[in-house]
Amino acid sequence: MSSRIKEIFSRVKTENRKALINYIVSGDPNIETTLDIMNAMVEEGVDIIELGVPFSDPMAEGVSIQKGHERALENGTSLRDTFKLVEKFRETNIETAIVFMGYMNTFESLGAQEFMIEADKVGLDGILIVDMPPEESSDFTKYAEERSIDIIRLIAPTTSSARSKIICSQASGYIYYISVKGITGAGNLDAEDVKINVKELKQHTNLPIAIGFGIKDSASASSVKEVADGIVVGSVFVDLIGEGGDILKKVKDKTKELSEALS
Amino acid sequence: MSEELMPDKNGRFGIYGGRYVAETLVPALEELSDQYELIKKDNKFIEEFRSDLAHYVGRPSPLYFAKRWTELLGGAKIYLKREDLNHTGAHKINNTVGQILLAKHMGKKRIIAETGAGQHGVATASVAARHGLECIVYMGEEDIKRQSLNVFRIKLLGAKVVGVSSGTSTLKDAMNEAMRDWVTNVDDTYYIIGSVAGPHPYPQIVRDFNAVVGEEVLEQSQIEIGKDPDVLVACVGGGSNAMGLFYPFIEKKNVRLVGVEAGGLGLSTGKHAAPLNDGKQGVLHGMRTYLMQDESGQVTETHSVSAGLDYPGVGPEHAWLKDIGRAEYVTADDEQALEAFKELTRVEGIMPALETAHGIAHVKELAPTMNKDQSIVVNVSGRGDKDINTVASIEGIEL
């Protein structure tokens, strides 16, 4: 397991709080600003940053994040640019964990082996390939293990208990629990359902569990935090970035609101 | 490995196919596979499906000898498999008749579909109307413009058309949006995919329900031709009409299988929809297959005069048939397709869909190179009424 992700979760535990995991799209609105946004988030207490790798067909994303991908692609942001971004970020930060979140086709454009060599080199901590269920993951899993890059796995409300066990046995870093049946930014979060499902999930794994999809403010974060080890917030940040204006201030304020809610 | 067993238990055709979807959908696809495996052996289901094909669709569709066209081209005898005569005007109805029964069997109340040319949308809306189920059809804004006639037909059938303006506003984006709907409403919704594409088990299900086309040709060619045809030709977008025709012939190695992709403005221009000819392996819409994409793995914009072929991927079984050399894949460009559209219309009085016209265009090239005692069966996958506006506007005629 990546030492950084492990350390983060054990640190937040001793600090008696939950990890804040923010998602943004790499290159949205441009790669320089993405670096500034990352650093701004760090200032206000983000623990892990999930960097969306832009893809032409982000099938699991709601409108907000789709638009983020489109903005990043308009300025030509690629997977290689995203690796360079991490390299640059690591010049000043070795504490915050970085996870790439995206789709199989862009990850494969580099090949699984070269991807992991590059990931190791720049200081990437994990990957979450949305359309790579355990059945389809052999190459990435193999090369990730060699280089201690975590493979973050999704578990959904539709996942059976038997299947959860299998997924947990193949996951590393943390488990990403999808809180709703739906796409990112969905508005139908049912905190009671989430609590029941995550409690059950905890019987299958000792890995930390992060909850995401449909969490956008301190209220929604607070509603599920008792069962979570971390909370993932994405669409709301991508919306703020899309709005423009003083992006850094907006992102800082939102990060602060969330990290306070999780303390 | 026996070709009969394809796909394997993981939904693979060789290295192609599979189930590359977000976790939320995996259990739904597993359930669909299980239910399909049960139902396809169920006599009551088989009877109902066959009866619907006969009485609702109007099967079998004729195998028609194109005498004048054969004489004009001066080579192999050309036979047309008349899927254009099916109810709703294309082969697409075969699959929707089967899948709606599966949906009902699974207790689903809401039907969704994607459509490009609108034929699958019309076919889905028709069977949904017949079974009294709610139906939502996703369609790219670009295609809504090109295929306004079918949009109106879908609405008349009581379905809702949802325009999709993300990405390139065509079929692939409509499919993304349908997947997003499905993942959100997975409990009560059945997604009727219209091609032999998408995550397992869709490529298998859609192939099996369309295989009636090839099965009929197997029998009809013994009667009409007196032997197996030498070549089967069909256009390939996602590849459902071609797969339906080819599948029962895969083990008949004496029969050549030729798929015709959309060459658009020409292969060399890059503006086409021919992933099997000029694409590379990748993952989109839940399947591993040949894809039109750039160096960084972004799916690239496609071009074809026919909305139904305007798709950057292709069914995984076609990818596999190409790699093992069992089927050949060629292209016909926009201009050739338009010319073929006009020729078949004038010589045989049969107006093919622009998608179909790509297959027709290849027959124009192939037939003269063959002997008069040889024969070609080409799948007339759909009729051309829906394309009148497109053809008129290309000719500068306002209707």
Hey, which CATH number is domain A4-261, 3.20.20.70, 3.40.190.10, 3.30.70.980, 3.40.50.720?
A: 3.20.20.70
Note whether B80 and B64 are within 8 A (CB): yes
- B176-232 pLDDT, tens digit per residue, is 999 999 999 999 999 999 999 999 999 999 999 999 999 999 999 999 999 999 999
Six token digits for residue B306: 């026919």
Query: Would you call A73 and B298 a contact, using CB atoms and an 8 Å cutoff?
Result: yes
Please list the alpha-helical segments (H only) found in chain A. Answer: 3-14, 31-43, 63-74, 79-90, 104-108, 112-122, 138-146, 161-170, 191-201, 218-225, 235-243, 247-262
Whether the per-residue pLDDT at B36 is higher than 90: the answer is yes
pLDDT for B383:
96
Mean pLDDT of B346-353: 98
- Active site (annotated) includes residue B92: yes
> What pairs with residue A176 in β-bridges?
A154, A210
Which residues does chain B have within 8 Å of residue A162's beta carbon, measured at their own beta carbons? Answer: none
Query: Would you call A106 and B298 a contact, using CB atoms and an 8 Å cutoff?
Result: yes
d(CA B83, CA B380): 6
pLDDT for A54:
98
d(CA A168, CA A155): 9
d(CA B281, CA B267): 18
pTM: 0.96
List the one residue out of A101, A123, A100, A97 whose CA is nearest residue A7: A97
Interface predicted TM-score (ipTM) of this complex, two decimals: 0.95
Q: How many CB atoms lie within 10 A of CB B361?
A: 28
Whether the per-residue pLDDT at B1 is higher than 50: the answer is no
Q: Which of B25, B166, B296 sits opposite A78 (nearest CB)?
A: B296
Q: Give the DSSP H/E element, type plus range, for residue B17.
A: strand B16-17
Query: Would you call A109 and B295 a contact, using CB atoms and an 8 Å cutoff?
Result: yes
- Active site (annotated) includes residue B114: yes
Which residues does chain B have within 8 Å of residue A115's beta carbon, measured at their own beta carbons? Answer: none
State in Å, rounded, how far the first CA of chain B is from the last one: 54
> What pairs with residue A210 in β-bridges?
A176, A230
d(CA B242, CA B245): 5
pLDDT band at A188 (very low <50, low <70, confident <90, very high): confident
Question: Dihedrals φ, ψ of A118, to 5°?
Answer: -65, -45
d(CA B193, CA B36): 14
State in Å, rounded, how far the first CA of chain A is from the last one: 25
Which residues 126-185 of B are in CB contact (within 8 Å) with A? 166-167, 172-173, 176, 179-180, 183-185
Which amino acid is located at A263 in the chain? S
d(CA A20, CA A229): 9
Whose tokens are 């021919």? That residue is B274
d(CA A232, CA B265): 46
Please list the alpha-helical segments (H only) found in B10-59. Answer: 26-39, 43-52
Whether the per-residue pLDDT at B4 is higher than 60: the answer is no
Mean pLDDT of B66-75: 98
Q: Give the DSSP H/E element, type plus range, for residue B233.
A: strand B231-235
pLDDT for B61:
98
pLDDT band at B398 (very low <50, low <70, confident <90, very high): confident
Note whether B191 and B96 are within 8 A (CB): no
- List the Cα angle A3/A8/A14 in 5-degree steps: 125
Half-sphere exposure of residue B109: CA atoms within 13 angstroms, side-chain side: 3
- Active site (annotated) includes residue B381: yes
Q: At what angle do helices B119-131 and B92-105 cross, to 10 degrees?
A: 40
CB burial of residue B141 (10 Å; 0-12, 13-18, 19+): middle
- B83-113 pLDDT, tens digit per residue, is 999 999 999 999 999 999 999 999 999 999 9
Which residues does chain B have within 8 Å of residue A107's beta carbon, measured at their own beta carbons? Answer: 297
d(CA B309, CA B296): 24
- A97-143 pLDDT, tens digit per residue, is 999 999 999 999 999 999 999 999 999 999 999 999 999 987 899 99
> What pairs with residue B12 in β-bridges?
B17
Whether the per-residue pLDDT at B2 is higher than 50: the answer is no
pLDDT for A2:
67
B368 preceded by a cis bond (ω within 30 of 0):
no
Average pLDDT value for chain B: 96
Whether the per-residue pLDDT at B3 is higher than 50: the answer is no
The fraction of chain B above a pLDDT of 70, given in percent, is 99
Question: Dihedrals φ, ψ of A23, to 5°?
Answer: -110, 130
